[in-house]
Amino acid sequence: MQTVRDADGTALLLVKRSGESSRVRDPATGEERYVDNATLTVVDDESPLSTAASGVPAPVRRVMGAVHDDRTLGLLVELVDHGPLSVLEAMDAYDMCESDLHGRLAEFRAAGLIDEADVAGRRGYEATAIASAAVRLLRGETDGPT
């Protein structure tokens, strides 16, 4: 499989090349269709797996890179639903040791999913718009900005 671009510049996955036409797959929909080879350009510097992943909304891909288990996802959901939260509130409310909590918060910050916030004069964190959009998408909610 290869990444190709059509005449409009859309990245597609090349499934099968024939003499005059090729079968391509749209990573956003999974739909396959035949297109004229003359309208396709091979993209050598983009992995076909990265192209396939591009069909998943960017906020969800960002969460997937930062969340490795259900507890971590739960922490992010709590920040989206009930944040901002101070670090002390989070340590009291959730079953995580301090180092685990800080490690997960650091991953969220690096991924752009949370920002530091002042919570009643204490250091805390709040979810970013990207995190909120991702949680909506993961819940299957389609209304609102993504």
pLDDT of residue 143: 59
Is 120 a domain residue? yes
User: What's the mean pLDDT when you consider all of the chain?
Assistant: 92
pLDDT in tens, 31-55: 999 999 999 999 999 999 999 999 9
pLDDT in tens, 5-19: 999 999 999 999 998
Rg, C-alpha atoms of the chain: 20
Q: Which domain holds residue 66?
A: 59-138
Is 143 a domain residue? no
Considering its fold, how many domains does the chain have in total?
2
CA dist 112 → 39, 46, 58, 142 (Å):
37, 24, 12, 22
Please give the structure tokens belonging to residue 102: 């800080």
Is 145 a domain residue? no
